[in-house]
Structure 1
Amino acid sequence: MKKGHRNSWALENQLLKRKTKKKSHNRDSSAPQGFQVSKGWFHRFKIRFQLKSVSLRGEAASADKEAAAKYLEAFMKIIQEKGYRPEQVFNMDETGLFWKKMPSWTYLMKDEAKASRFKAQKDTVTLLMCRNAAGFILKPGLIYKAANPRALMNKNKALLPVFWMHNPKVWVTKVLTEYWFHQSFIPQVRQYLANLDINVKVLLIMDKAGGHPLDLYSKGVQLEFLPPTTTSLLQPMDQGIIRAFKALYTRNSLQHLVDAMDHDSKFTLKDYWRKFTMATCLSVIDRSLKDMKEETLNACWSNLWPDCVHNYTGFSPQEIQHSAINKADQLAKILGGEGFDDITEEEFGTPH
């Protein structure tokens, strides 16, 4: 290539690069930058355009309807042969509870997230919840990470609204389940049936979770384990009871906060939340349990034992949950401020 042609080609190449760079710069400067929206905005957007999503995970996604149908036949055979009454048939299931949960994006959390040793959103307890087909709920077992938290020092644990247990990981273990069975379930059931003048002939239904011993024994008590792929279809506790309880817990937590704000002229959210101890949590649990109606607890047996369900209107677990969410939403609006004004249902209805 001659020298003149080579210089001409180089000049054209430089001009082309400049034009391309200029176009790219103009295009980038005109593009929207940093578009961000709040969770409340997105929630209202979904409602406006009627957008819905359904996510099936775990047991619900792998539920075996054929196995459930077979088990229903076996279950009804047990009921008929042994002559169990609704007062004698119990179901136990466990769930985790974020007992110190607030809207995750409130200014409180943003500020406190910088402080060491503050893990409110990760502070969890495990509840062992048990009730019978007649709608009677037992004092729940509660597993906490510490045996004697400071807030419960010098308190008689026998008088607590829960049966207190502890585990550093807050896990359900076979040892703790056996302890709960003999020291909490059996005494409560015997006292309950004695008050009704009913014989101690009990059927306890559980799933085959890793922390559930298969060899629990007590005179007059029969254990029945649900097939592993049917619990989401058959287990009464999985039919909305736990979700309803958690919605009630959130509602009552917010009510407790509003009451504290009304009675303290120097109220600050940060100070309040630091004083929200395990003792406060237990009082909210107790109130939430009392808000669970017998009719609601009876209704959740419709899949496993439909003949024992009374079909009261207005007391389904879904209706109780919906009512609690509506009330919690009203309380959040009273509190106002960042994180409360645009709070969504997802913040209230923690899934099981």
Structure 2
Amino acid sequence: MSYGKAAKTYMVPKTTIVDHVTGKSQIGKKAGRKSTIPIQVENSIVEKILAAAERGFGVTKKQLIIKVARLAKLKGITFKNGVPGDDWWRAFKYRHPEIVIRRPEQLSTTRSRMLNKAVVQKYFKDLHIIIKQNKLAPSDIWNADETCKQFSHNPAAVLARRGVKSLPGRTSTSRQSITILACVNASGDKMPPMCIVKGKTPRCVESFATIDAPPETIWTYQEKAWMCDLLGELWFKSVFLQNCGPRRPQLLVLDSHSSHEVLGLLEAAISENILIMALPPHTSHHLQPLDKAVFGPFSKAYGRACSEFMTNHPNHEINKSTWPRIFKSAWEASVTPDNIKSGFRATGIWPMNVSALPDYVYLPSEAFDLPIENRQQTSVPSSSQPNLSLTLLAETAVSLTTTDLVEDHDSSTKHGDELGTPDDLIPDDMASLDAQIPPADVGALLDALGNGALELSGTSDANNNASTWNWTAEIDDIFSIPKSTPKMHKSRSSNSITSHRLLTSEEIPNVTYNLF
């Protein structure tokens, strides 16, 4: 069939058919000029970038351009002005649409280290044993934590003209802080909050319009409006024990703040048959229900309530007399049964679920993991030992491998009574290779090599991937995450906290007594 007839029959332009037949155009080939760096190499770079971002070592656009420039220089590829330009960057994003620019969330190095999968799984195991052995119901499992709010808030998003560069949002002049202690259980119930204001005498509380706060709110004070040991014991006795109900035992999950480990608090908990579990340190952002699903909505609701108040009352600002009503509005809108249950479910406490945390939350800690023991690899990687098996496509097929020949040679020398000839002592595989190949087979191999009946297995992949192999070492050196190395630290004291603890066990109070 001619080109013209094929074009009329299949309704395809004649030039398209000619280009595909002659090889000028290929099926699956993308439009545009060929990329400066091979596409296989770009795919490897993208994998390195995405893996680094998931582990908290994200690469910025500027860093990527600098790294690619280094890689190109090592390979003799030149860019205009020595670095890839905006046209390369746009083409790179087009070729790899999975790459986007995002602003990461803040995560301290301590938190990224401590949220380790082994630590978390051990915590879940012990926690679920406690829940099952004590036959705890959802209403018996509590979580308490603190959050802080200021009179000066973050304005909520409002409607504005498109393209406006600056938009004002009125806030309060004062930045006074108030600490709020909340306590909720897995069935969706909540206890009255405790508000800690800044001051040294009870008179500082009298200046607040406490009547406008949520019902039964406990008000107290501290010099810096912080949670302290004395207030922790006060809250447990006057709030928790008064509102947890008569059922025993019950479980209270807390973070590792010092105010939660006061001797008076632990003694009261033991006497009341209240089990207190301390979370692994620096893991509350994923393991604490209040942090996971309650305090986030509360902060948004608080910002909206403050913005609405400032809009509706131009002559007023947020102060001690107006803050309690704003706090009540945000508290009732966010600390709801649905949000509370969602927090316990997302942290795997109730329903009990060891796999509640997705695997990607553990990725930042992998950069700091060190092997338990350093094992020396004595075997050579398979990629550096190509299979030298020769397949003879003739009447009598002969398959020879260097491994088989060496094994035959070793067995013959091992079981022989005599030491053997000097050739047997040569530590070279070629000596055994020459000794094992019969002359007739060598001639057959040479004939097969001449007529094309010989096939060398294990070399075709190397030829196809040679270009990728030439880039691997440089890509790993430039784009891989640096390995964490062990540092010389001072000996860890016996009081260092590295895991979760049952604070009401017999060991903890005894240790506390010994400190005095």
1:154 Cα offset (Å): 8.9
Q: Which residue of 2 aligns with 1:300?
A: 343
* Local SS of the residue matching 2:321: helix
**Structure 1: unaligned runs, 5 residues or longer:** 1-48, 113-117, 194-198, 261-267, 310-352
Opposite residue 324 of structure 2, the aligned amino acid is L
Q: Which residue of 1 aligns with 2:320?
A: 278
Cα pair 1:65 1:230 within 8 Å, conserved: no
Cα pair 1:151 1:278 within 8 Å, conserved: no
Cα pair 2:155 2:306 within 8 Å, conserved: no
Q: Which residue of 2 aligns with 1:321?
A: none
The within-5 A match list for 1:1-352 is 51-54=101-104, 55-57=106-108, 60-62=111-113, 63-103=115-155, 106=168, 120=174, 122-146=175-199, 147-149=202-204, 152=207, 162-190=217-245, 199-215=247-263, 216=265, 217-218=268-269, 219-260=272-313, 268=314, 271-273=315-317, 276-292=318-334, 293-302=336-345, 303-307=347-351
Q: After the TM superposition, which of the residue ranges 147-156 and 242-251 deviates more from structure 2?
A: 147-156
Q: Kindly indicate which of the two structures has a greater share of residues assigned to helix.
A: 1
Distance 1:181 1:96 in 2: 19
1:71 Cα offset (Å): 0.5
1:233 Cα offset (Å): 2.5
1:278 Cα offset (Å): 2.2
Deviations 1:279-314 (A, max 9, x none): 3211122222211320111011122324269xxxxx
Larger radius of gyration: 2
Distance 2:349 2:144 in 1: 15
Opposite residue 290 of structure 1, the aligned amino acid is E
Distance 2:190 2:306 in 1: 21
Deviations 1:155-176 (A, max 9, x none): 6799855211101111111111
Distance 2:144 2:242 in 1: 15
Distance 2:299 2:155 in 1: 15
Q: Which residue of 2 aligns with 1:24?
A: none
Q: Which has the higher contact order (CA 8 A, sep 6+)?
A: 1
1:59 Cα offset (Å): 5.5
Opposite residue 227 of structure 1, the aligned amino acid is P
TM-score by length of 1: 0.59
* Local SS of the residue matching 2:152: coil
Opposite residue 342 of structure 2, the aligned amino acid is A
Distance 1:72 1:174 in 2: 27
Shift of the 211–155 alpha-carbon distance from structure 1 to 2, 3 Å rule, reads: closer
Distance 2:326 2:185 in 1: 23
- Give the aligned CA root-mean-square deviation in angstroms: 3.0
1:74 Cα offset (Å): 0.5
Opposite residue 92 of structure 1, the aligned amino acid is A
Opposite residue 89 of structure 1, the aligned amino acid is I
Shift of the 151–308 alpha-carbon distance from structure 1 to 2, 3 Å rule, reads: same
Cα pair 2:210 2:324 within 8 Å, conserved: no
Cα pair 1:93 1:129 within 8 Å, conserved: yes
